[in-house]
Chain A
């Protein structure tokens, strides 16, 4: 990937959310954060000032903006020296990023957005958070938290009972 010639505007990658909102990040950030962008940018040749547009028209603006936020932050962190301090700061940032106000719906949308552009770092972070939410919970509790329907067949239920019969309850 050739660097932008000096003096010209930096190339950007634009994510378009539901409602036509645009969120941009520098191409360099996209390359670091998103596998899809890496693969696409290998094939795309820019003419003039075109930016690469990624349509996420099913996803609300907030998760898309959070995605861009995350990518920018991760890219910046990657350039700074690794240290225990830096790792600690990153953990604290991640906790603020997915604060208490982030509910399962937002997590899901965030995950959708991350999956769309294969942003592995954010996928991993959201999975960690969801795992934390369902750790140690019963199946019904998990269904309530995430709004999942129980569609197990009677056969599957029997299998589960048998498979788990060695556990002392």
Chain B
């Protein structure tokens, strides 16, 4: 990154006393144009009394000039000069406004572009410079990542993040403290590899990223990020799986779904102070494992984790915890859209501590189909709504 303070750094190298006379020498005869009066410039770019310099060439002729070392293209200018002839000191010619030269600002070298964009703030780049053209957009993304890297603080990605970006981020910002991915559908199994690049991570949020799940990925996180203090894993909606053979979803299925797979991974995050799981399939066993292995946990939030049944033993285990949010607690302050849980099979085994209805309360958003079901008297048994779908055979 070019720095204009470099001149003071190099002061020591210069032989200061010798500079002044050399400058005086230069100022006298060698240079053709006046040095200290840039305001002497006329409307056209080049004072016309210099015979070697003609009117600027028409726009387009000079466009798309790559950054140069040196290349001799003086032949064409020589031709032009010959055609127009020289007439000695000519009156200053005024360039017509339309003859403003084209310059290829899109083709600047990437490091210069990023240096330029670094001087704008985040919003200015998002709303302006980052949308100008392809190369500028590229540079803008680079700046966004470098900024996060420079501050070593946080990276928030919504929708757009993918595994490549995470790896890139990991290379640039290995001391990242906070990573938050929301609705990043393109982050898949590669997340487990990428997260290893953030050993100093203290805060991780994965919200509505349906493809980061299960399969030991959180165990990897716990080991890769030993200083993780805050972890948030938010699913879109609670989806209940039943392992009993009555459940038609698992007919013929060989796999036993381990509802506590993620909880077991989370249990490796020994430094956790804050944990939020929303609409997770964790059960009592999983929660117990977490509580046993995360001794510093201060504020667990397990709203909509309806497989957890907060009976006496578990409540006792949580008695020292100040800010406990339970599955049926209010979601008024939840920052994503709350969706109604989906029950598969005949699943009324959920015990609830509270008397309130566990389906269709004011926190839930029912679409029209759900509302029709809700109003269908045939879906009620003894005044209790059976949810959908339900099986009469039980």
Interface residues of A (CB under 8 A from B): 3, 10, 12, 18-26, 28-29, 31-33, 54-62, 65-66, 68-69, 72, 74-79, 82, 96-97, 99, 101-106, 108-109, 111-112, 115-116, 120-121, 123-125, 127-128, 130-131, 134-139, 141-143, 146-153, 156, 159-160, 162-164, 166-167
Contacts and interface: CB of A to CB of B under 8 A. Distances in A.
Interface in B245-283: none
A31 to B, nearest CB: 7
Sort chain B's interface into a size bin.
35 or more
Interface stretch (B12-20, B232-240, B324-332, B357-365): B12-20
B58 interface: no
Contacts of B348: none
Contacts of A12: 30
A57 to B, nearest CB: 5
B137 A112 contact: no
B103 A76 contact: no
Nearest to A141: B128
Contacts of A167: 123, 126-127
B231 to A, nearest CB: 23
B10 A78 contact: yes
Nearest to A75: B19
Contact of B69 (A75, A106, A116, A146): A116
B16 A29 contact: no
Interface in B20-78: 20, 22-23, 25-27, 30-33, 35-36, 38-39, 41, 43, 45-46, 50, 52-53, 56, 65, 67-74, 77
B98 to A, nearest CB: 12
B196 to A, nearest CB: 26
A138 B30 CA distance: 44
Given A58-B71, A123-B115, A106 B45 contact: yes
Contact of B137 (A68, A134, A156, A164): A156
A68 B109 contact: no
A139 B132 contact: yes
Interface string B119-152: 1100110111111111011000000000000000
A3 B15 contact: yes
B331 to A, nearest CB: 21
Interface stretch (B1-9, B311-319, B375-383): B1-9
14 contacts: A3-B15, A23-B30, A29-B19, A60-B53, A65-B31, A72-B35, A96-B38, A108-B104, A125-B4, A134-B128, A146-B105, A149-B106, A153-B134, A163-B160
B116 interface: yes
A143 to B, nearest CB: 6
A82 B8 CA distance: 8
B155 to A, nearest CB: 14
A25 B70 contact: no
B74 A131 contact: no
A18 B289 CA distance: 75
A20 B52 contact: yes
A32 to B, nearest CB: 5
A24 B30 contact: yes
B109 A115 contact: yes
Interface in B285-322: none
Interface in B73-104: 73-74, 77, 81, 100-104
Given A106-B45, A147-B105, A28 B15 contact: yes
A3 B21 CA distance: 14
A10 B28 CA distance: 14
Given A62-B45, A121-B6, A123-B2, A134 B160 contact: no
A162 B7 contact: no
Contact of A25 (B26, B45, B100, B102): B26
Given A77-B7, A79-B19, A167-B126, A105 B52 contact: no
B100 A152 contact: no
Contact of A124 (B27, B115, B158): B115
B46 A111 contact: no
Contacts of B136: 148
A107 to B, nearest CB: 8
